[in-house]
Amino acid sequence: MSAASENRAVLGGGCFWCVEAVFERVPGVVAATSGYAGGQLDNPSYEAVCTGTTGHAEVVEVRFNPEHVSFDRLLEVFWAAHDPTTLNRQGADQGTQYRSIILADNSEQLAAAQLSRSQAASGFASPIVTEIALLERFWPALEEHQDFYSRNRANPYCQFNIVPKLKKLGLL
């Protein structure tokens, strides 16, 4: 498939290892790359982002074939894959880098994300706090963070955080 037939979504819902493990298993997704976006520092490091002072969120750049999966379907998975009502936190992971965020590639995605958030709200007891904005820049994380679950399935973090999520979503 050529890059011309791919679209991109940039999504954050806690630790990027979890988000990447979910989206790389969605049919129609071509690639999922862990990284950072939404902050003020150029080319941020994992260590800098973990301080919570750079403004970046851990996100995943999801490349997808729109003939096989729609942006709206990816948003449905996004809402189901994490708790968008907790501010700057997913499970034990706390800090602004773990916030729920959708960074749109264009104005059409921005409008679709805003509509999707409104529609998803009725499925949660608390208000959704997911940030939605236009993407300015995506920075890929180091190779050691890519495909983390696939390479580290026995890791306790993966067993306690990622496996239950994949099972809940029917992706395992």
* Backbone CA torsion sign across 145, 149, 154, 156: positive
Catalytic residue chosen out of the listed positions 15, 18, 50, 158: 15
Of 45, 48, 5, 11, residue with least CA distance to 28 = 5
State how far the Cα of 59 lies from the Cα of 11, in Å rounded to an integer: 5
Whether 18 sits among the annotated catalytic residues: the reply is no
- Between the two ends of the chain, the Cα-to-Cα distance in Å is 25
The residues assigned a catalytic role are 15
